[in-house]
């Protein structure tokens, strides 16, 4: 069983050994919010600070050259991980949110005109809604939305009708952080390109969990974060096709993004440095590279297969609990996320009672308020899984929820 792989991997994650209170071990089921970090990543960042700490791209001394080499090696690892055609297409940012904002503030401001249409979906995270809302208000753009069907999938027939409006951009999540819905990204990108639109993929929940190949997808832009894929917080990636990035203006001004500066003008640096102003998150980039090494050593197909097994088991176990309603599609369209409500019990109460038993889940709207409004609920409780989640932890969740039901009578 795939569960044996998770049991063996857990030794690499020191936090999974802790107790949240004396005698209460941690059951971590909040990996959609952020994943835990293996010791290999923690150690790599510690080693950088102990042995190689220096600023990059500017110095010729030994430490600076070592730090620069490690930073750029991480970029190469990440480019390979998503099968980018060149490291010039891999831009370090702070997170998925900043990556999407970068596209909105640079490509969007330059390429879009009043009346132009952007297609989004009803299941988007706020990070792939608000930047476009800001831009739409500023430039007089029109936002249209692909509906979510009653079986928690995107309505591709309505998408086809929206594409007839000749949008300039289609931006959508490859996997919903609430429903777990895995959207048919390759097909949706093809349809967008056929209609003359560019595409931006929110890969925050996809890149960590199953193989993502940007050349196979033919994605124009892809955004994702290190902290959801065994890496550190504070660093993410914007992938963009090189010709698009070349024609986009810089995002931020300052050191390292310039080739030449005069008092009244400047010329920008080459890719990818054109979009990386100031001293970057060097240790975090190195940690990100090691996280990619770790995931590749496990195998992304293995990660995906394990999560399918865990999720299918969770759907079966939780369906036995009276009053529990799960929001999300059937298992063949679903990633490792189970969001639910318990009849008559607020999701925050559910999460707090589970925490007494050491079970960490998330409660709220999960930065997807419009999606919750669509289903006429203020919030859900969300359990989310990763490569280190075990079947026993799902059983503990089920028992914890049964206790919650008993407490509320």
Per DSSP, the three-state class of 175 is strand
Nearest one of 211, 390, 232 to 306, comparing CA atoms: 390
Digit-coded pLDDT (tens) for 34-43: 999 999 999 9
Q: Kindly report the length of the chain.
A: 409
Within a domain: 214: yes
| pLDDT confidence tier of residue 391, bands split at 50, 70 and 90 | very high
Q: Residue 369, Cα to own-chain centre: how many angstroms?
A: 17
For residue 110, the cross-strand partners are none
- 8-state DSSP, 10: G
Per DSSP, the three-state class of 95 is coil
On whether both 338 and 359 belong to a single domain, the answer is yes
pLDDT at 360 over 70: yes
pLDDT at 1 over 60: no
Q: The tokens of 121 are what?
A: 């979906």
On whether both 156 and 233 belong to a single domain, the answer is yes
Within a domain: 269: yes
On whether both 233 and 276 belong to a single domain, the answer is yes
Within a domain: 36: no
Which of 240, 273, 297 is the last residue before a domain boundary?
297
Q: From CA 184, how far away is CA 201, in angstroms rounded?
A: 11
Nearest one of 239, 223, 296 to 38, comparing CA atoms: 296
On whether both 268 and 385 belong to a single domain, the answer is no
Digit-coded pLDDT (tens) for 192-231: 999 999 999 999 999 999 999 999 999 999 999 999 999 9
The total number of structural domains in the chain stands at 2
Within a domain: 35: no
What pLDDT shows up at residue 409? 79
On whether both 305 and 293 belong to a single domain, the answer is no
Which of 297, 319, 334 is the last residue before a domain boundary?
297
By the 10 Å C-beta count (0-12 exposed, 13-18 middle, 19+ buried), 282 is classed as buried
| pLDDT confidence tier of residue 5, bands split at 50, 70 and 90 | confident
On whether both 190 and 325 belong to a single domain, the answer is no
Digit-coded pLDDT (tens) for 122-137: 999 999 999 999 999 9
Within a domain: 57: yes
Catalytic residue among 367, 369, 391, 405: 367
CATH number at residue 201: 3.40.640.10
Domain with 131 in it? 42-297
Q: What percent of the chain has pLDDT over 70?
A: 100
Q: From CA 218, how far away is CA 283, in angstroms rounded?
A: 31
On whether both 184 and 314 belong to a single domain, the answer is no
pLDDT at 385 over 60: yes
On whether both 277 and 313 belong to a single domain, the answer is no
Using the CB atoms, write b or e for 67-99: b if 16+ within 10 Å. bbebbbebbebbbebbebeebbbbbbbbbbbbb
Per DSSP, the three-state class of 199 is strand
Task: Confirm whether 367 is a catalytic residue.
Answer: yes
CATH number at residue 402: 3.90.1150.10
What pLDDT shows up at residue 375? 94
On whether both 15 and 110 belong to a single domain, the answer is no
pLDDT at 399 over 80: yes
Which of 279, 297, 315 is the last residue before a domain boundary?
297
On whether both 364 and 215 belong to a single domain, the answer is no
Digit-coded pLDDT (tens) for 144-192: 999 999 999 999 999 999 999 999 999 999 999 999 999 999 999 999 9
pLDDT at 113 over 80: yes
Q: What is the CA radius of gyration of the chain?
A: 22
Tell me what the pLDDT averaged over the chain comes to. 97
On whether both 23 and 100 belong to a single domain, the answer is no
On whether both 208 and 229 belong to a single domain, the answer is yes
Q: From CA 302, how far away is CA 261, in angstroms rounded?
A: 49
């Amino acid at each position: 069983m795939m569960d044996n792989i998770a049991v063996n991997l857990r030794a690499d994650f020191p936090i999974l050994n802790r107790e949240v209170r004396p005698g209460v071990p941690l059951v971590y089921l909040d990996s959609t919010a952020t994943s835990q970090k293996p010791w290999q990543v923690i150690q790599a960042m510690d080693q950088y600070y102990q042995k190689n700490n220096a600023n990059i791209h500017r110095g010729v001394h030994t430490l600076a050259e070592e730090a620069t080499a490690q930073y750029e090696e991480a970029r190469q690892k990440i480019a390979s991980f998503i099968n980018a055609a060149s490291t010039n297409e891999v831009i370090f940012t702070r997170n998925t949110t900043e990556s999407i904002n970068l596209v909105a503030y640079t490509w969007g401001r330059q390429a879009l005109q009043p009346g132009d249409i952007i297609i989004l979906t009803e299941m988007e995270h706020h990070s792939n809604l608000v930047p476009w809302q800001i831009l739409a208000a500023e430039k007089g753009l029109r936002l249209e939305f692909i509906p979510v069907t009653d079986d928690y999938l995107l309505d591709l027939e309505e998408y086809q009708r929206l594409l007839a409006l000749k949008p300039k951009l289609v931006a959508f999540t490859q996997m919903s952080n609430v429903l777990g819905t895995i959207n048919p990204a390759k097909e949706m990108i093809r349809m967008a390109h056929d209609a003359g639109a560019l595409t931006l993929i929110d890969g925050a929940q996809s890149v960590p969990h199953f193989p993502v190949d940007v050349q196979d997808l033919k994605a124009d832009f892809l955004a994702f974060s290190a902290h959801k894929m065994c890496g550190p917080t504070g660093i993410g990636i914007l992938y963009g096709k090189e010709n698009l990035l070349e024609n986009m203006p810089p995002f931020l001004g300052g050191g390292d993004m310039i080739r030449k500066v005069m008092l009244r003008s400047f010329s920008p640096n080459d890719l990818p440095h054109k979009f990386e102003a100031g001293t970057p998150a060097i240790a975090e980039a190195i940690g990100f590279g090691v996280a990619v090494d770790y995931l590749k050593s496990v195998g992304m197909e293995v990660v995906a297969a394990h999560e399918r097994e865990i999720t299918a088991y969770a759907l079966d176990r939780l369906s036995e609990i009276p009053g529990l309603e799960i929001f999300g599609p059937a298992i063949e369209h679903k990633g490792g996320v189970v969001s639910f409500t318990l009849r008559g019990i607020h999701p925050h109460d559910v999460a707090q009672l589970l925490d007494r038993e050491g079970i960490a889940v998330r409660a709220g709207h999960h930065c997807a308020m419009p999606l919750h409004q669509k289903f006429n609920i203020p919030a859900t409780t969300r359990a989310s899984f990763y490569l280190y989640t075990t079947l026993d932890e799902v059983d503990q969740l089920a028992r914890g929820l049964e206790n919650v039901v008993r407490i509320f009578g």
